[in-house]
Amino acid sequence: MMVSKEEVKHLAWLARIELDDKELEVYTKQVEQIISYFDTLDKISLEDIHISQRSVPYSKFRDDVPKESTDNVLSVVKNSKEKFVKAPKMA
């Protein structure tokens, strides 16, 4: 699979990661190399295979009863106003 610089630039934007020109150059090569390796999955026929559920079942869900949070979650927020988190404005 060929991967272009434009594609990597777009993916970086989707993931909100800033890349400078040099990074874009290096990443494009590396992404192409790795994606080409993933192409080995094309060699195998998987038509009759289904995505399996976990072999050991999950625990039962607990009852939906509200509990008091014991953690002071807001203690880690640097920019807060009263009980709100201050964030940059949406464009």
- Rule CB under 8 A: say whether 83 interacts with other proteins: no
Name 9's Cβ contacts closer than 8 Å, sequence gap at least 6. 19, 24
Q: Residue 80: enclosing H or E segment and its boundaries?
A: strand 80-81
Establish if 52 lies at the interface with other proteins (CB under 8 A): yes
* Spatial separation of the C-alpha atoms in residues 33 and 61, rounded to whole Å: 42
Interface residue with other proteins, options 38, 68, 82, 83 (CB under 8 A): 38
Q: For residue 65, state whether it binds other proteins (rule: CB under 8 A).
A: no
Computed on alpha carbons and rounded to an integer, the radius of gyration of the chain in Å comes to 23
Shortest CB 53 distance to other proteins, Å: 10
- CA–CA dist 8, 18 (Å, integer): 11
Which positions lie near other proteins, rule CB under 8 A? 3, 7-8, 11-12, 14-19, 23, 27, 30-31, 33-35, 37-38, 40-44, 46, 49-52, 54-56, 58-62, 70-73, 75-79, 85-91
